[in-house]
Structure 1
């Protein structure tokens, strides 16, 4: 077997029979051989990596989006490499700089809000850039996800349609979580248009979880006992609030309504099914990966791919009024 044939197999180039390819791959595995992709990239100026940058891996929102990316790229030569930012725009800037220095073949990055330097790097990197999980803004290249403002607005209209009046919003205090902010803004607009009093606000620092939801729920109900609806900006805090309300004997649904955001299947075993909004995370990752891999065709000049957020009433809200 010639050196050229071995080189073709290891670089995945040229026509080589499947039998020959299998022999070369088997020999490489026995020897522990790993090709030098950096050397191979010198000619093309790119490596087969896709930079995927998200705020966190501990928040269940982002691993599900990443699963969608991986499902599509598994059938291509491209490999996702993940970096996290902790919702810190300066850290995002540093992470983006380092990942772009490897000359990836594409970038998938959460959100539309970035520092001026990050936007400049994204605009000048020369590869497909897909901003995911949000479409409320102008992308550098392409955007895929839902409108979080619209999702919040839909929750607000459902709250009003089901007769609730004294609303509280329980969410994160992290300034970098722009998607949570947009949900709240959409909800507040719907309440305002219906003449419902402005909602009470309570926030938490750090990462979301059941404990944060329980703490905030106890605090807001003690501070404003007349509250009849609690909107949590994510399902994890909502689940903690639901468990607290049930333990304390509240009439969940009819007397006290609750809703979260995100539609996490992990929470399907709760005593009541929490009202929520499906943010279409896996589909977002799948479409973003297709764009990076050159497999997606846009309709016209609009490079937004917007999914409709689906409201799911669950068992924690009254029926709609006739």
Structure 2
């Protein structure tokens, strides 16, 4: 119907190779007229690869990951590939099952969160002969490509910032750090830096479960009931810190005069508070974009495991 060869029609449908605009338009008009839908399964059988990119995230409720997915989605929209997304709820066994399921569909590449996986997950990815990007963390050796920032150094930088502000009686409120290994790494960096400065982190409260605004609010109340002398509290992330702000407001507590509050992630909700939250942030959308650019759109040679550090910044805010 379009008056072109099968190869040309195939290139248009797969968005591959140089195609003149008028030729593309003829093929797409024929597609619309016939209601044709490309058989992706047949294509993957012929090429031993699909146009799918597996994306595995730890959470769909944590406000960090929609930004990461926005970067992945925008970059993939320019590439002709489609994402297939799975959510682990921070469970390594669930991640392993998702990796096994997605690899069965012969994806072109995989994007996972973090560098810690089960032995079987790592084995499957190492033998899959596809590009693999591990995002959000660079504190260990990647399978192929790691894109993110050092959470250990982020914790240290947070400590240095607060010490420079004159704080010495520092407290911590966190969620389930056995599941959220990046939050645990930030805490380790914080503890190490404070210990080296002679201000050990002795005032802590862990709430258990996933992070949330409510857990941050109740967690700060519990911490202050046990350690009322805190002059600043670091939270495992901004969700928790926003809850801390709400606790302080409910108690009529002067922030930062009576108590400083410091988060991590730089979420919009924290910056929209009457007093913008003091926090730490990285460009999460750019992390997602780089992952796609490097493992899907970059035709350059593979040179072994590599790390891309996007860095982070301290947001001074007005709460600490």
Query: What SS does structure 2 have at the residue aligned with 1:266?
Result: helix
1:183 Cα deviation from its structure 2 partner: 0.4
Paired residue for 2:256? 253
**Distance of aligned partners of 1:40 and 1:257 in 2 relative to their CA distance in 1, 3 Å threshold:** same
TM-score by length of 2: 0.92
C-alpha separation in 2, matches of 1:280 and 1:313: 16
1:3 Cα deviation from its structure 2 partner: 6.3
Paired residue for 2:283? 280
Paired residue for 1:222? 225
1:20 Cα deviation from its structure 2 partner: 3.6
Paired residue for 2:106? 103
2:57 to 54, 57, 62: 54
Q: Does 1:21 align with 2:33?
A: no
Root-mean-square deviation over aligned CA pairs: 2.1
What are structure 1's unaligned runs of at least 5 residues?
318-322
2:76 to 73, 82, 95: 73
What are structure 2's unaligned runs of at least 5 residues?
none
2:160 to 157, 161, 175: 157
1:225 Cα deviation from its structure 2 partner: 0.9
Are the counterparts in 1 of residues 263 and 279 from structure 2 also a CA contact under 8 Å? yes
**Distance of aligned partners of 1:44 and 1:152 in 2 relative to their CA distance in 1, 3 Å threshold:** same
1:12 Cα deviation from its structure 2 partner: 4.3
- The correspondence of residues 136-215 of structure 1 with structure 2, limited to 5 A, is 136-215=139-218
TM-score by length of 1: 0.92
Range 26-35 or range 297-306, more displaced: 297-306
Query: What SS does structure 2 have at the residue aligned with 1:293?
Result: helix
1:10 to 13, 25, 28: 13
1:119 to 122, 128, 136: 122
**Distance of aligned partners of 1:141 and 1:24 in 2 relative to their CA distance in 1, 3 Å threshold:** same
Q: Give the length in aligned residue pairs.
A: 317
C-alpha separation in 2, matches of 1:3 and 1:18: 16
C-alpha separation in 1, matches of 2:179 and 2:296: 29
Are the counterparts in 1 of residues 68 and 288 from structure 2 also a CA contact under 8 Å? yes
**Distance of aligned partners of 1:242 and 1:46 in 2 relative to their CA distance in 1, 3 Å threshold:** same
Paired residue for 1:44? 47
1:247 Cα deviation from its structure 2 partner: 2.8
1:189 Cα deviation from its structure 2 partner: 0.6
1:132 Cα deviation from its structure 2 partner: 0.4
C-alpha separation in 1, matches of 2:302 and 2:102: 30
Are the counterparts in 1 of residues 171 and 230 from structure 2 also a CA contact under 8 Å? yes
